[in-house]
Structure 1
Amino acid sequence: MMEERNTTSDFILLGLFKYTQLHRSLFTMLLTIAIASLIGNSIMLLLIHQDHQLHTPMYFLLSQLSFMDLMLFSTIVPKMATVYLTGRKSISPAGCGLQIFVSLTLGGGESFLLAAMSYDRYVAVCHPLRYPVLMSWPLCLQMTMGSWILGAADGLIQAAVTLSFPFCSTHKINHFFCETPMLVRLACGDTSFFENLMYICCVLMLLIPLSLILTSYGLILAAVLRMPSTDARKKAFATCSSHLAVVGLFYGAAIFIYMRPKSYRTSVHDKVVSVFYTILTPMLNPIIYSLRNSEVKGAVKRWLRKCLYLKYGQN
């Protein structure tokens, strides 16, 4: 007998943790990491906004990355904490659609933003004298807007199509937020065409920017190896290493989530990797850029000196 269809009732998020002592400790640790991510990205945004030496296309793109991470935190973490702390696991279809839209917008937008950042590094290393022309502010703004628009288009289409399916009587989502693959599993109708289309779309959204990134860094590597000075090579590698680390973190998690064959997917693996890219990676991004970047460290020192002067200098 077919299950009763229900397209109006709320979904139930089963959450990430159970109510055991071990899971309480894990939840506390994860919430601490999430708060650190919030603080780190907020400081990065503040530094880039306040310090005039960071008013360059490179750091504008980095500020967009921090803003995306903050948006992802605001969409996912509060609901995750509410589910665990209060036991209120229901989420409305509108709330579920919003989580799908925002997470996919930010995921798709970040993939193209990372490609724009790789082009910025290519111009800085390979054509430093022509940097103001090849990486002008109008071009930087166009690439940024393009990243947001392409991500939003993907998020809107997938959220709308996912919620248009009829769902069976069980609305329990074995996850801590609404994600398209999880909701598709609850649909009563035939979703094979949409799943194949979603798979192709995700491949294109990931591989097109990734191919641009690899091309940029291939050209950068060739240029660096031709540099006669060891110091120049070290400086070039230092300039690019932070961005490469962020690219590796982002694409590793995204490919694992969206490009695996359906037969290899399990809810446990999906939840673990989702924690990685929604909470851990946003925390690591500002750390990577601050520890590996002398300009950011210089901005932090100037900001601290300014704070100390305002506190003690007028006494």
Structure 2
Amino acid sequence: MQLETYISDLLYRYDCVAIPEFGAFLTNRVSAKVHETTNSFYPPKKVLSFNEQLQHNDGLLSSYIAEVEKIPYEVAVQKISKHVKSIKSYLVEGETITFQNIGDLMLNNEGKIIFEPSYHINYLTDAFGLTQFVSPSVSREAHKEKVEAIEKVIPLTITPEKRKSRPYLKYAAIAVVALTLGGFAASNYYVNQIESQNKIAQEKANEQLDTKVQEATFVISNPLPAATLTVDKQVGIYHIVAGAYRVEANSDKKVKQLQDLGFKARTIGENKYGLHEVVYSTFDTAEEALKELRQIRINHNPDAWLLVKELN
């Protein structure tokens, strides 16, 4: 079984793909970057990592294999378990396991799995078609430096213009200034008069408005109590699925039963098969979701599974 092919398919759509009893491949979004030295432009991408602690079966990989190979879910789980045992035996013998388009796995001196990711494929679908490229350096002309260099070689001198003295022009200029000052004084006096009249009118209008407000004042003897609503909105992409129902009324009934048991249950819409999915709760991180899934399987429903999906 080409396990890496199924994992590679799921990494395009999900941020966490767990292999039961082995570990999980995680993806982390990285923004586009520019290397200043080489002028290389790198598109945004998903960076792969491996967490050996996440070994619980969330149902994602098993369900996908069962769907693709048209086999029962239990058979898919058994095939994964057999393949994992084979991988572990090779690692113990000191061999390096290569997952095509994902990376290499090996054991260190302490018996821990070391993962070296592959950079051949970008699993970020938003960056489809974008590749790395190198741009030539942009040359900018230093115009200021050129002008300063020219001024040093050819100094510029300004010769003042000689004009004949005309005394009558001086008196004409004095007359224009006097008329201008007089116009400004008259204008300021007129503006001040207008502002004064506006202020008096505004004060009268305010007095009349206060009188009307006082006459219209009334008291409510029995005011209605203030109502406080608390809305608990669940956010996240990790959903613990309780079941899926063909009839919507049955899914609503299941939600009510789970809510009576203390779960933050709700419906998240229809899946691709037209079934109404009911979840126990929704979480922001895979760690929180897997921890809650473990408790639900032990204490309530051993068939519960984890769905990684971004809701609209």
Query: Which one has the bigger strand percentage?
Result: 2
The structure with the largest alpha-carbon Rg is 2
State the TM bucket, normalised to the shorter chain. under 0.3
Query: Which one has the bigger helix percentage?
Result: 1
Q: TM-score scaled by structure 1?
A: 0.21
Q: TM-score scaled by structure 2?
A: 0.21
